[in-house]
A and B are shown apart, each in its own frame.
Chain A
Amino acid sequence: MPTRYAYHPGNVAHSNAIEVADTMPLAAESLGIELVPLDGATSCGAGIIRQANADLQVVLNARTLAQAEAMGLDIITPCATTAATLHEDLTSLRTNGKLMAKTNDILERNCGLTLTGEVNVHHILHVIVDELGIDKVKSAVKNTFEFKIAGYYGPNIQQEGACGGDDVFDPDYLEQVIAAVGGKPVEWSSRTHSVGVPGIFSEEKTVMKQTAAVLADAKSEGAQLVVSACNLSHMLLDVYQGKAGKTTGQATKVPTIHLTELLAFAFGHHIDRLAQLRTRVLVIGD
C-alpha cells in the first residue's frame, strides 16, 4: 500500500535543480511513496518574499497548504528551504488566531479555499526515517556507494518542530540514509551551518566564505562526496564551489549531489549517471 503525499518539488527544481525534479519521483517510486502533483503550489518564498511583505508570503503559502488539505494529503518535498518555510508559516497560522482568520478571509475571496491547519509538511528525509523506516531504504538498494559521504542539512530543516524525530543541533538522519546505501558517513561540524543562499546576489563575498568553509570542512574530514538535503544549498555547494575556492583560497572542489539523486542512483535508476558519478569520485577526484 503506497504512502500518498501531495508533492511540492521545492525551489528551482523546475530549472536550476532539474536533477532533483528528475530523481525525486524515481526515488519515491522505489520507496513505495505515491506523489500526487501539487500543480498549483507557488514557490515558498525561500526567505525572500517575506523581506518585502511577510503577510503576503504567509498567504501564498497558506494557499499551497490549503490545496494539500483539500486533497486530504500531507505535503512532501525534497527541498529543506521549502519544508522549513512552509512549516514556519503553518506554525504561525496555527498559533495566531487573528492571522489565521485574516488569511482565510483572503484565501476564500480569491481562491475559494479554507485552511484548517490540519495539514503537515515533511521533508523526504524525515518521511524515510520516521514514517517508512530506514530498513525500507536498505531493502531497496541495488547499487551501493562505497564512498566517504558528508551529509549536508543546512539550517532550515534543523529547527525545532521541523526536523521530525531528529535532533535539531546534532542530527543523524542523513547519516542513517548514507549508511543504508552503503556509504561511510563523515562526521563534520558544518553540516547544519548556513551557506548563505538568500544572500548570494547581494553579499556574495560573505556567502563565498560561508560556502567555502562548509566544503573545506567536509573535505578535511575526508569526504569524497557531499549530499545535500536542500535544493538551494545544493545549487550553491556545487555551482559556486569553484568560485568559493578561488575567492578564499580554500580547497572546495568535491562532487556534490542532492539526496534524491543519491537515493535514485542507489535504487538502480539512471545507472549511466551513477557510472559518471563513480568515475568522478573514484578516478578523477576533486
Chain B
Amino acid sequence: MSAVVKVWIDDGCITCDACENICPEVFHVEDDSCVIVDGVNPSEWGDDIIEAADACPVDVILFEVAGGDETTEGEAPAEVAVEAPATAPAAAAEPVGDGALDAVMAGDRDLHILFGSQSGNAEGLCSMIAKKAADYGLVGHVHDMDGFDLGRMAGMKRILIACSTWGEGEQPDNAEELYIAAKGSGKILSNTHFSICALGDTSYEFFCQSGKEWDEVLETMGGTRIQDRVDCDVDYDAPAGIWMAEALSRIACVDDSGTFQEDLVAEMMAHAAGDSASASSGDVAIVAMPEIQLLANIFRYDADTGETGSDAWAFSIPGHYSVLDLLRTLKATQDGSLTFRDGAVDDPTTGVCVNGRLVLPGMTRLCDVVRDKGDGAQIRIEPVAAYDVIRDLVVDYSSYDNLRAASKPWFVGGQREGTFAGTEVIGTMDAVVSTELHASNDIASPQLLHATSDAVPYNRSYMGPAIVSHLWNRSCDPRISDKSRTAIIEALADTNGVKSETDIASIHRQGSMGANAAKSVLQAKTAVLSHDGYNGRHGKHVWWYTWSIKSSGKVNETTLYRTVLGPMGLASNALSGVSARMIFGFTRTGRPMFNELLGMVAPPAGIGKMPKQFNSAVENHHEVISIFNEMDGRF
C-alpha cells in the first residue's frame, strides 16, 4: 500500500462526489466542497486516496507521501488543452553512474509474464516480451494462466500480463479460473510491481474488459502499477510495442529487494537501446531511438457537423516509431474516432502533412520530423492540402484519379530496331536513358506528389506535377510511338497542362521525389514552349524575360508588361489598382514615386530619354551577349 501521510482539499472543488464514491472513509462531500472526514488516518487508505485523486476532475485532492513529497495529480498546462501525459517523461530522469545500474541488475532478475489468450495473440505477445526482456537484463518466464497457482504470485517482484477479451467482456477460457481466484484472494501482493496490456476490439461494447479487470484486481491484491495499462484495438502491434518498451524499461528498474529505482529508467532505456541497436527485427534492422516526450496536434474534421479544429495529446513514445505508429497508438489509446488511412508502410494513399512536410506516415520516423523550438517536441499532422477532406486526415483522391484517367496514361508502343539475342529479336534501350527513366519514375506516391504543387489547390483543372511527370517521362521513353509522343506533348501544352504550374520551387522542396518531379516539369515546360513557338502569355513571358537579360543583364519589367500583357492586360491592371500601386510606390512608405511610371510611359515611345533604371546594363555586358550568342541563337 502507498504510504500517504497527509491529505487535504484545495480550492475549486465542484462537489462531483467521485472521491466519496471511491473512499467514503476519507472523503465527505458537502454542499460547497469536499472535506476530509475528521479523525481519519490517511495511511490506512493510501491507495484509495491516490485513486480518488486520480479520479478528481479538477485535481483538488492533494496528498503527501512518506518522505515529504507533495503531489498533485493530473496537472496539464493551463494554456494548452491536452490529455495528461500517459507516462512520466522518462528521458528527463537524470542518468546515474554505471555502478547503480549494475547494482539494480544484480540478484533476482525474474520477470513473470502471464497470458490470458483465446486466439493466441496474447500468448504470442508474451513470447515476444520474454525475448525482449533479455535486453533489459531480465529473465522472462511465460506462464499460461490456465492451471497457474495463484499463491506463486505472492513471491513475484515483477509481473506483466497480456490478456484478451472474449465475447461480451468475458475472460478468455484459460484465464477465467485464475481471475475468480484472484478476486477473492485479498491483499497477497506486498512487494510486486505489475503492468497490463489489454487486447480487444473497439467494435464490441466491453472493449478490453478483461485487461481492465486484471488491472483492477492486481491493484486490489496490493500490487503496485509500474506502468499504465494500454488498451489495444485489433491492430495492436504499435500500441503494444510502445507499452512493452515503456513497461520493460521501468519494471527492469525494480531491484533485488523489490524497490523501484525510478532514477535509473533513462539509463536502463539507453542500455536496452544499445543492446538492441544492432539486433534485427525480421529482415530489417531497427535502430532504437530514445523516447520523445511529444505534444501531438492533429487536425480534426467532422463531415456530419462541418466542424474543423484540432486535438492535442501529450505522451511519451520511442523516437524510432513511425508517424503511422503514432496515429495507430492515438486511435487505440486516446480517441477511437480518429480517422486516417491505414495500410502498409509504403501504401501511396496514406500520405499526410507533418509539420509542413508531405510524407508517407509509415515510412517516416518521428525523430526525423518532430520539431523542438525550446518549448518541447511537437508534431502537427494535417491532411494534404490539394484534396477535399472526408474526415480528419482522410482525403478524397477522386479529383486526382479523374485527372489521371483523362490524361490517357497508358503506353502506346511503336516499331523500333531490335537486337538478336540468341533465339529472338528483342528491343534494347541505351543504359543511360534507361537509368534516367527509372530514376524519374521513382515516385513513392503520385497522390502525394500531386499535392506538392501550391497551384493545385487553386486550379483543380490543372493536371498537377504527378501526371505531368508521368506523361513527360513516357514521352521520353524510346519505345513509345511517334503518334503517342506527339499526343502527349499536345496534352501537356493544353490549357490545363504544364503551363498551369505557377511555381516549380514548391515541388522542388519536397524531398527527392519533389526534386525529380520538378526536373521533369521544367523539361516538359521547355518542350511545350518550343512546341507552341513561345506564343501566348506564358511563351511571351519566358521569351521576353530571357531577351531582356540578353539586352542588359537585368530584367526589364516595362518590356514584360507591355509585350506579355498587351493593352487588355494593362487596362486590367490600371482598373484594379495594380498600376497605381506601382506608380506611387507600392510599399506606401515614402519611397520615390513615379519610378515605374517613367518606365510605363517613356520607352519605347521615343519621347525623351529612357529612364536610367531601364537602360542601364551590367558591367561587362558584352560577355553576356557573347554567352547568349554561343548557347542560344534564338535570342
A interface list, Cβ under 8 A from B: 11-12, 14-16, 18-19, 22, 39-43, 45-56, 59-60, 63, 84, 88, 106, 109-111, 154-156, 158-160, 167-170, 172, 189, 192-199, 201-203, 205-207, 209-210, 213, 235, 238-240, 242-243, 246, 255-258, 261, 265, 270, 272-274, 276-277, 280
Contact = CB atoms under 8 A, between A and B. Distances in A.
Contact of A106 (B555, B587, B631): B631
Interface in B478-529: 499-506, 508-509, 511, 522-523, 525-526, 529
B575 to A, nearest CB: 9
Interface stretch (B37-45, B181-189, B614-622): B614-622
A55 B632 CA distance: 10
Given A196-B455, A199-B501, A199-B502, 4 more contacts: A18-B613, A40-B620, A46-B555, A48-B545
Given A47-B503, A168-B509, A194-B503, A243 B578 contact: yes
B589 interface: yes
B461 to A, nearest CB: 10
A236 to B, nearest CB: 10
A60 B627 contact: yes
Contacts of A172: 373
Contacts of A63: 623-624, 627
Contacts of A156: 505
B506 A194 contact: yes
Nearest to B628: A56
Contact of A52 (B371, B508, B526): B526
A84 B537 CA distance: 25
A11 B503 contact: no
Contacts of B505: 47, 84, 154-156, 159, 194
Contacts of A158: 509
4 nearest interchain CB pairs? A199-B502, A196-B502, A169-B356, A202-B538
B502 A51 contact: no
Contacts of A192: 356
Nearest to A212: B458
Interface residues of B, number: 80
B179 to A, nearest CB: 49
B455 A170 contact: no
B252 to A, nearest CB: 36
Contacts of B576: 242-243, 246
Which of B459, B525, B589, B630 has the largest count of A CB atoms less than 10 A from its CB?
Answer: B589
A43 B554 contact: yes
B585 interface: yes
Contact of A242 (B546, B564, B577, B595): B577
A206 B502 contact: yes
Contacts of B540: 201
Given A48-B541, A238-B586, A239-B581, A15 B596 contact: yes
Interface string B544-565: 0110010001111100100011
Given A159-B509, A201-B564, A246-B576, A19 B589 contact: yes
B587 A238 contact: yes
A279 B308 CA distance: 36
B315 interface: no
Which of B356, B504, B582, B587 has the largest count of A CB atoms less than 10 A from its CB?
Answer: B587
Which of B556, B616, B631 has the largest count of A CB atoms less than 10 A from its CB?
Answer: B631
B588 interface: yes
B626 interface: yes
B276 interface: no
B553 A56 contact: no
B503 A110 contact: no
A43 B549 contact: yes
A243 B573 contact: yes
Contact of B541 (A40, A50, A193, A202): A202
Nearest to A107: B627
Which of A22, A56, A238 has the largest count of B CB atoms less than 10 A from its CB?
Answer: A56
A110 B627 contact: yes
B624 to A, nearest CB: 6
B356 A189 contact: yes
A207 B462 CA distance: 13
A18 B553 contact: no
B355 A170 contact: yes
Which of B457, B506, B585 has the largest count of A CB atoms less than 10 A from its CB?
Answer: B506
A273 B589 CA distance: 5
Contact of A167 (B371, B525, B620): B371
A109 to B, nearest CB: 8
B543 interface: yes
B578 A240 contact: yes
A166 B126 CA distance: 45
B609 interface: no
A9 to B, nearest CB: 10
Contacts of A243: 573, 576-578
Contact of B455 (A199, A235, A261): A199
8 contacts: A14-B613, A18-B591, A18-B592, A18-B613, A59-B627, A63-B627, A155-B509, A209-B459
A277 B587 CA distance: 9
Nearest to A167: B371
B503 A54 contact: no
A196 B371 CA distance: 28
Given A53-B631, A106-B627, A169-B356, A276 B599 contact: no
A42 B616 CA distance: 12
Given A11-B555, A19-B589, A261-B587, A49 B549 contact: yes
B180 to A, nearest CB: 54
Contacts of B356: 169-170, 189, 192
Contacts of A196: 454-455, 502-503
B536 interface: yes
Contacts of B631: 53, 55-56, 59, 106
Contacts of B501: 199
B537 A209 contact: no
B357 interface: yes
A55 B401 CA distance: 35
Given A19-B587, A63-B627, A207 B502 contact: yes
B147 interface: no
Contacts of A235: 586
Which of B504, B525, B538, B545 has the largest count of A CB atoms less than 10 A from its CB?
Answer: B545
B590 interface: yes
A273 B529 CA distance: 43
A79 B525 CA distance: 24
A10 B78 CA distance: 46
A190 to B, nearest CB: 9
Interface string B342-377: 000000000000011100000000000001010000
Contact of B578 (A51, A88, A205, A239): A239
A278 to B, nearest CB: 10
Nearest to B541: A201
A239 B586 contact: yes
Contact of B588 (A49, A202, A270, A276): A276
Which of A11, A170, A209, A213 has the largest count of B CB atoms less than 10 A from its CB?
Answer: A170
B542 interface: yes
Contacts of B534: 52
B294 to A, nearest CB: 15
A14 to B, nearest CB: 5
Given A53-B631, A257-B589, A203 B500 contact: yes
A16 B582 contact: yes
B564 A40 contact: no
Given A51-B522, A207-B502, A14 B616 contact: yes
A258 B585 CA distance: 13
A37 B557 CA distance: 22
Contact of A203 (B355, B499, B614, B635): B499
A48 B458 contact: no
